[in-house]
Amino acid sequence: MLEPEEERVMKMVLEEGIMKTKMIVEGNQEVKFTTEEYQRLHQCVFDLHSASYRNNSHWLLERFVKSLEESINSAVLPSFVDKHDALLLRELILMWSNYKLMTKWLCKFFESIDRHFVPKICYCSLTDISNNSFHDLVFKDFYVKFQDVALSLINQERMGLHIDCSSLKNVFLVFMEMHKHTGITYYEGFESAMLEQTSNYYCQMAQQWLSNGSPADYVQKVYWCLEQEAERAGRYFPSGTQPKLLKVVKQQLVYDILDKLVEKQRPENCSFVTDFYQEMLSKCANMTLQEGSYCTTEEWLSALLTSSSVFPLS
């Protein structure tokens, strides 16, 4: 049984510990708790929880949740103000990392209620509550903006600009973590938008290249683009995205353009057009990049367009 003064002192000690953890999310990652500090805070929570006649368990849970909200409102959300492009993604990555470190300590201190009280009230753990708080107060509201920035950066790289590939890779990991914690398919949503953007981009490029250059020039551009997209996928996309990305690129640059490519070549190879068209349809139906005996984009496309010498590259 705790005396009122003992309880007051314990709550004061706990408040000091909470304030120290807030320094982590504010950017001070050097904050450490000694073994003595940890044991003292852990014991305070245990003793307060054990004094159940004062309903301290409910107070402890409320204080835990409130500490999360305070940190998000005072440090996380303000950090996004006036942040754009890669800076916004870097801030998300940093804040999510700091937040997880802060909540790791808080969950250790509040272990007593996490084991014996929280599951009965919330049917989840303090870690789940922490992750859901970040999602509900931060990620859910900013997701569209994060996605738009990621799409913009990818498009900038396609235009030849240098971008922060590391931040893109890490923000996709955050998307997948949020999926793991909430069940909402954030990365898949981004991936769908990215593939649509890619399809639209290369549809426009195919029309421009076909109008402004020779078939040989067009094929060389396709070589280059497929190689670039494969490299791009390897730099920052999860492995499962690369086949989808290359499929979209090939669809727009090769499969959907074959009839127009044949038409452009017709004046030079009139007698071969029908045979070429049929052969290309057959090859398109049966060949995929980096499968079978074709190890590179150039080998794949060369086999697709030139194996029969019906459609010479020059």
Confidence of residue 231 (pLDDT cuts 50, 70, 90): very high
- Structural domain includes residue 149: no
Give the span between the Cα atoms of 18 and 97, in whole angstroms. 18
Give the DSSP per-residue string, 212-273. Answer: HS-HHHHHHHHHHHHHHHHHHHHHHS-TTHHHHHHHHHHHHHTGGGHHHHHHHHTTTSGGGH
- Assigned token pair, 298: 């150039």
The pLDDT value given to residue 220 = 82
- Structural domain includes residue 172: no
**Same domain (yes/no): 22, 132:** yes
pLDDT at 296 over 80: no
Residue whose structure tokens are 């950090």: 79
Q: Rounded mean pLDDT of the chain?
A: 85
**Same domain (yes/no): 15, 95:** yes
- Structural domain includes residue 27: yes
- Structural domain includes residue 189: no
The pLDDT value given to residue 292 = 42
Q: What's the CATH code of the domain at 86?
A: 1.20.1310.10
Confidence of residue 123 (pLDDT cuts 50, 70, 90): confident
pLDDT in tens, 194-226: 999 999 999 999 999 988 877 778 878 888 898
Give the span between the Cα atoms of 30 and 19, in whole angstroms. 15
pTM score:
0.83
pLDDT at 121 over 70: yes
Select from 138, 160, 178 the last residue of a domain. 138
Residue 158's SS3 state is helix
The pLDDT value given to residue 310 = 34
Q: Which domain holds residue 84?
A: 4-138
Give the DSSP per-residue string, 183-203. Answer: ---HHHHHHHHHHHHHHHHHH
The pLDDT value given to residue 276 = 47
pLDDT in tens, 56-96: 899 999 999 999 999 999 999 999 999 999 999 999 999 99
CA atoms within 13 A on the CB side of 136: 9
Tally Cβ neighbours within 10 Å of residue 201: 18
**Same domain (yes/no): 210, 286:** yes
- Structural domain includes residue 191: no
Number of domains in the chain: 2
pLDDT at 287 over 60: no
- Assigned token pair, 212: 């402004």
Select from 114, 138, 162 the last residue of a domain. 138
**Same domain (yes/no): 130, 208:** no
Q: What is the number of helices (H) and of strands (E) in the chain?
A: 16, 0
Cα 46 to chain center, whole Å?
Answer: 38
**Same domain (yes/no): 125, 218:** no
- Structural domain includes residue 300: yes
Amino acid identity for residue 22 in this structure: K
Q: Looking at residues 269-289, what average pLDDT do you find?
A: 45
Task: Answer positive or negative: Cα dihedral of 211, 212, 216, 219.
Answer: negative
Amino acid identity for residue 143 in this structure: Y
- Structural domain includes residue 161: no
- Structural domain includes residue 174: no
On whether the CB atoms of residues 279 and 300 are closer than 8 A, the answer is no
Show Cβ contacts of residue 290 under 8 Å, excluding neighbours closer than 6 positions.
296, 300
**Same domain (yes/no): 115, 213:** no
